[in-house]
Amino acid sequence: MTVLQSFRARTGEPLGAPLVASTPQQIDAAVQAAAEAFEGWQSSDGATRGALLRALAQALEGDREALVALADDETALGTVRLNGELDRTAFQLRRFADIAERGVPFAWLDDPAVPGAPPAGHPAMARVQVPLGPVAMFSASNFPFAFSVPGGDTASALAAGCSLVIKAHAGHPLTSQRVHGLMQQVLQALRLPAGLIGMVQGGGNEVGTQLIRHPLIAAGAFTGSTRGGAALQAEANARPRPIPFYGELGSINPVVALPGILAAKGAELAATLAGSISLGCGQFCTSPGVIVVLDDPASDTFVAALSTALAGQNPHAMLTTGMRRAFEAGAKALVAAGARPLVNDLSDGPAPRPFLAQVDAATFIERAALHDEVFGPAALVVRATSVAQAVQVLQAVGGSLTVTLWGVEHDSAEARSLVRGATAIAGRVLFAGVPTGVAVTAAQQHGGPWPSSTQPMTTSVGDAALNRFLRPVALQDAPVWLTARQGQPC
């Protein structure tokens, strides 16, 4: 029997009684129950799906005080941040309720028959969408609500007509259990099968591996490290019947700052950027990890101001002791690869100190070890000799959730070159502000080329997240009763 222990993130003390990790038999039972629940849920209408999603949002809000207190104990993220995250989670659930009720999952394209032989003529065709099936969803460590048991993957999969088996994260197992208990109460009240939203747990790789290998699982959704996501993607691809795996992985989110804007408001931008680097102790997938500047006096002043502002930040404790050790190791690896520390006050306490280093662009481009994400309040300044070399830095990064461009307000050959370079590697390009903070909206794209995600054509945030769990099907010369359903699965 494998046990799983929750800890108080601020002190490292055990929290609550040990939990028992899910056994292979329990994992199989959860997937079997999800498959049975899918049989009915796939043909549910938008009103039914919307009612469930709205009830889940209401249940979270109704248990807010206890949920936030428990999550704060397990994560040290603070009650202000966690209350905001719970609000975001409820918003996501209600937004996908709206999407389901508007009939978006049932969108269909009617292509009436055209008389005559091909290519001009063709039979009656209708293009519809069908839900994939039971989804294995892997919760994130750094968002115990919004990217966890009740998060965006759960909301979009349910809206698409899929059932779920959720792998709870070992960093906040008690919060996950409490939320899942609330969700089960909602399912019971709505007379929906308990297997529609299943949950398994475990601290090692075995639970997740067995889950993604299960032959009844139709897709995987993951938010976490590049290493963990790559391992699960390999398992998804190695199955006798491979399945889609939607992984949101590591990202270093470059910020390119040009001399003009730094000369105009470099001090303000330095303070804003320092806050973004240390926000949530740097435990955001969109935390800015690479700052590209040119060799000029305005950049020198900006880097000095950034160093001062970052040294004055006081991050809270990291989510787990393992992440804390990985942060220290990552910072040391940057130095070993040739970066020169600018802010390097390493601490032995539960809360790390911010880390900032600097390297020239040629060295950054050459050494792959400098491209690795350091999860935590850390960033690397890269000094380029020209805009052309700054673009080469972006190319060396290869893939990122975001790229931020400061100072391209006016059309020029260099501005266009930077925009091309940014859009080639990122799912979201910002021209103002900082990348931390991901809006849940129609135009959002949260995903980019490897290593930021496994499927750069998809997004894990925003309305289009629904599309990951739907598959197009063409119906040719369908009977009247089927076309009358207008895309509603039968």
| 193 and 269 inside one domain | no
What b-and-e string marks burial along 427-438, b requiring 16 or more CB atoms within 10 Å of the CB?
bbbbeeebbbeb
Pair 212, 276 in one domain = no
- Please report, for the domain that includes residue 459, its CATH number: 3.40.605.10
Domain holding 188, by residue range, is 3-249+453-483
- State yes or no: cis peptide before 240, omega within 30 of 0: no
Q: Within this chain, do residues 400 and 263 fall inside the same structural domain, yes or no? A: yes
- What is the DSSP secondary structure assignment for residue 453, as one 8-state letter? B
**Separation of alpha carbons 278 and 272, rounded Å:** 10
Q: Which DSSP string do the residues of 269-337 spell out, in sequence order?
A: HHHHHHHHHHGGGG--TT---EEEEESSHHHHHHHHHHHHHHHT------S-HHHHHHHHHHHHHHHHT
Indicate the pairing of strand 125-131 with strand 470-476.
Answer: antiparallel
In a domain, 488, yes or no: no
Look over the chain and give the mean of its residue pLDDT values, rounded to a whole number. Answer: 96
Q: d(Cα 182, Cα 16) in Å, to the nearest integer?
A: 19
Q: Is residue 319 part of a domain?
A: yes
> What are the pLDDT digits (tens) for 15-59?
999 999 999 999 999 999 999 999 999 999 999 999 999 999 999
State the pLDDT at residue 351. 84
Rounded to an integer, what is the distance from CA 46 to the centroid of its chain? 26
Exposure string over 306-317, b if 16+ CB within 10 A, otherwise e:
bbebbeebebbb
Q: Based on the domain organization, do 106 and 173 belong to the same domain? A: yes
**Cα(176)–Cα(19) distance, rounded to whole angstroms?**
12
Residue 405's DSSP bridge partners are: 256
Domain match, 302 and 208 both: no
For residue 380, tell me if it sits in a domain: yes
Q: Is residue 408 domain-shared with residue 457, that is, in the same domain?
A: no
Evaluate whether residue 301 is within a structural domain.
yes
With beta carbons less than 8 A apart as the criterion, state whether 234 and 222 touch.
Answer: no
**409 in the same domain as 307:** yes
Q: What is the pLDDT of residue 250?
A: 87
Which one is catalytic: 74, 235, 248, 373?
248
Say whether both 88 and 29 belong to one domain: yes
Closest by CA to 341, choosing from 298, 318, 374, is: 374
104-123 pLDDT, tens digit per residue, is: 999 999 999 999 999 999 99
* Cβ contact 206:230 at 8 Å: no
Give me the CATH number covering residue 380. Answer: 3.40.309.10
CA distance 362 to 383: 9
**Domain count for the chain:** 2
238 and 152, same structural domain? Answer: yes
Say if strands 14-20 and 3-7 run parallel, antiparallel, or are unpaired. Answer: antiparallel
Set 101, 281, 285, 373: catalytic member: 285
Is there a domain that residue 438 lies in?
A: no
**Looking at the structure, do residues 70 and 212 belong to the same domain, yes or no?**
yes
**Torsion angles phi and psi, residue 127, rounded to 5:** -100, 120
The answer to whether position 318 is within a domain reads yes
Is 248 marked active-site?
yes
- The residues near 7 (Cβ < 8 Å, ≥ 6 apart) are 13, 14, 15, 74, 320, 321
Tokens linked to 240: 């006798």
> In this structure, are 9 and 68 located in the same domain?
yes
Is 443 among the domain residues? no
Whether residues 243 and 258 fall in one domain: no
Low-confidence ranges of the chain (pLDDT < 70): 1
SS3 string, 358-395, reads EEEHHHHHHCHHHHCCCCCCEEEEEEECCHHHHHHHHH
pLDDT digits (tens, 9 = 90+) for 150-196: 999 999 999 999 999 999 999 999 999 999 999 999 999 999 999 99
Reply yes or no on whether 285 is catalytic: yes
Q: What is the DSSP string of 186-212?
A: HHHHTT--GGGEEEE--SSSHHHHHHH
Lookup: tokens for 125? 């065709």
